[in-house]
Amino acid sequence: MIKQLLSLLIIPFILFRVALNRVGRLWKRSSVIVDKYIYKTYYQDIGKEITKVFPCNNYDDGSLAPIILRLAWHCCATYNKYTNTGGSNGSTMRFLPELIVEGNTGLETARLALEPIKQKYLITYSDLWTLAGKMAIESMNGPIISWKSGRIDCKYAKFPISDHLPFGDKDSDHIRKTFTRLGFNDEETVCLLGAHSVGRCHKYISGWEGKWTKNPTKLSNEFYKNLLNEQWHESIVPETGKVQYYNEDNSLMMLPTDIELIRDKNYLKFVKIYSSDDKKFYKDFSGAFSKLLRLGFNE
């Protein structure tokens, strides 16, 4: 009699526990979905705010997108795969000496443009600057760039930075050494340097002067086409003494490191590929730039 009674009680109890477990799993799953939705929409809102910053009639070619892209690039290019230091995590450019190294001159324009967004939203500088780089690429006709939040900001400078950024007046050995330290192979290196299709140089900032392409607010494979198809001659910027290269009518320029891409046989191979295949360029650039934004960041 007791056994029968227990059997009658146990079965409903088991069914109740099964139902409760299912409800719990559904609740947990729905919570994850809600969290992901909130996360996605929050950073989408920040992304929209960032794109509103780009149009600027008082700046180069009416857009801040190229210099904000440069901010993201320099934020990440401090990475050292051998010591696992630097990279997009930390936003150490806010501190000396990184703040004033030659390669970062002029980036205060980009940082100041993004500062109101930093004050409005709960986001680290590291996430803001890298997200801004993603939005800059996508706003300039570029591919979709993968990005995740979670970077932290350091409270002080952590390591010497003077030799981490690539220099525009060096040879192919310097390029290869720099990008190998970042974790990129030759193909990825040439692909990332295709970002020189946007923006321009200023003699009062970098010592060089001019733009690489006819449309410096649109990411394209024109940079590679110009390298191959234009006739480049060496010149000196009178005010700074810097060496650079001009095309025949002096309307476009190249840095010494750009010219190295057609002097180095392995780099030249990829310049030719990207100059003739814009779809491959966009696809590869998406992967390489997404990888750049993750340097030094453990997701």
Question: C-alpha distances in angstroms, 80 versus 75, 135, 161, 164?
Answer: 12, 25, 10, 8
Active site residue: 73, 147, 212, 232, which one? 212
Active site residue: 73, 74, 164, 232, which one? 74
DSSP state letters, 104-122: GTTTHHHHHHHHHHHHHSS
Cβ neighbors of 87 (< 8 A, separation 6 or more) are 76, 78, 79, 295, 296, 297
Q: Look-up: residue for tokens 């320099």?
A: 74
Does residue 212 carry a catalytic annotation? yes
Pairing mode of beta strands 200-201, 233-236: unpaired
> Letter for the amino acid at 158?
K
Q: At what angle do helices 222-229 and 265-276 cross, to 10 degrees?
A: 120
Residues with a known catalytic role: 74, 212
